[in-house]
Structure 1
Amino acid sequence: MQSRNVNLQRENNLKITETNLTIMMEFILLGFSDIPQFHWFLFGGFLVIYLIILLGNGIIILITKVDATLQNPMYFFISNFSFLEICYVSVTLPRMLMDLWTQKGTISFLTCATQMCFFLMLGVTECFLLAVMAYDRYVAICNPLHYPLVMNHKVCVQLVVASWISGFPVQIGQTCQIFSLPFCGSNQINHFFCDIPPLLQLACGDIFVNELVVYIFAVLFVTLPFLLILGFYVKIISTISKLPSKTGRTKAFSTCSSHIIVVFLFYGSATVTYLKPKSHQYEGIDKLLSLFYTTLTPTFNPMIYSLRNKDVRKAMRKFLPRLSAL
């Protein structure tokens, strides 16, 4: 009798394990399922936004490669930043467009983990690259005589490569840690892509350590680069304010203003999303903030760097007629 009970218990445990494994095999991205009447409107809107991002950033990459007047470190970093923006939005937007088209939202466990891993790695790269761009402006304005020596091509390439690879090992480890958690409840992610906050809400058991790790990494890879950027700009503003010529001050501010706008657009929404207290009542706000720094900011960046930059506008006026003539 005892042997039979043990066998029954084993069978029940096996069924529970199979059920949990079935749940873990896939998630459902709810996205904008709460407003189904706007699905096609959202699909059209986000498709246009994606095309604008690809076209705008693609043109900046091209003109910084072909125009001789834009062959300097600042535009080298802008070109790399534009390429990063294309990669960054391509992690989330195509998937969101597919979900809006099919109105399903089903995503496999492995695909969800891959999406989150690339999103985190590219997000960290953006933080460090923005800090590198601030350092470039700091050297150009505060140490102009040493600028060609300090920011030579080899150093620029090293800074860009370091920005791309610095967060890769850590974010791969963080992704593995998040997806090793037991997800034994609902498999519905109330978001339009696989991100850390909504996934932690689905995890079972004590996730205090995981949340602590998220905060530590957010401080290391988001807050510290932001503090570096602030430090560089404090010194830049201090140097500019001492310039005797009003024209010189205006020119110096104009070369930094575009970067400052991009920094605050990206960091403002990202910091609030990852460092604010987690609560189900803020899920709608989380979506809007995520939409801002994953979609809208990359849309504005080409316009910020082109419309506010005299050299880029001049290069575009020369380049676009040649492009249309092809």
Structure 2
Amino acid sequence: MTTTLTLDNGVEMPALGFGVFQTPPEETVASVAEALKVGYRLIDTAAAYGNEREVGEGIKQSGIDRSEIFIETKLWISDYGHDEALHGFEKSAGKLGVEQIDLLLLHQPLTSDFDRTIGAYRALEELLAAGKVRAIGVSNVMPDVLERLLAETAIVPAVNQVEVHPYFSQPDVQKADAEHGILTQAWSPMGGITSYRGDSSRTTFNDPVIDEIAQAHGRTPAQVMVRWHLQEGRSAIPKSVKPERIAANFDVLGFELTADELSRIDALDTGVRSGPDPDAITLESFHRDIPEA
């Protein structure tokens, strides 16, 4: 298992990253600095998370050279359209305190106004050509929407960040990504979203299959799930604000799951999405003004 993944344009990205979705700004600086201290070198954020500025501050406080850190962020749908997306980049870069972003994604496919999505993606292509970003990609894009995007744009996305965890692994999305050389990156990689959506009595964290595998390796269920992603060739971006969990989630290189164990985890897929249906994301329902830098 490799600790870095090579994107389709040759850029190397750490396989395991640190996420800050729903991390309050006041907790973000310390958690990012802690993650970098532990060894993470990929930090994932988004304009819509409202904590890009604090991610940038955490990176500064870490004392680690910018060249060693892979920064990933996402433009929100309110900044779709060509000119709007170019400005969205400036806002994100300004808050992060950087001139170049390593990986810039479109956060959602705006299927209800796809021309705006195409305009925004073409802006990403221009940013890539200008060297302002090192790689571009998408998030929450399903195979049918991916085909529409590819038909109208020039550059294949390097990454598709989607909900992937043992209870919802989206094999059709992963297959479509792989066919186009797109890296699948898992958000909610340990199924944390299953803990606060639906039946909280049964979550990935107390699943008997995952627990049995964890006990066999003397590891936590969370570590087993991160390892499952990495061995199957995905990028994963677990999040936490607790230093002991930040460290534990990164400590996954000292054991290996067997082919049978990987298959048993694959078999837990319920086909039930916990996050929002990407087609349900509209400007009417999900518009939010992204502040200036």
**Shared fold, TM over 0.5:** no
More strand by share: 2
Higher relative contact order (Cα pairs below 8 Å, separated by 6+ residues): 1
- The TM-score bracket by the shorter chain reads under 0.3
More helix by share: 1
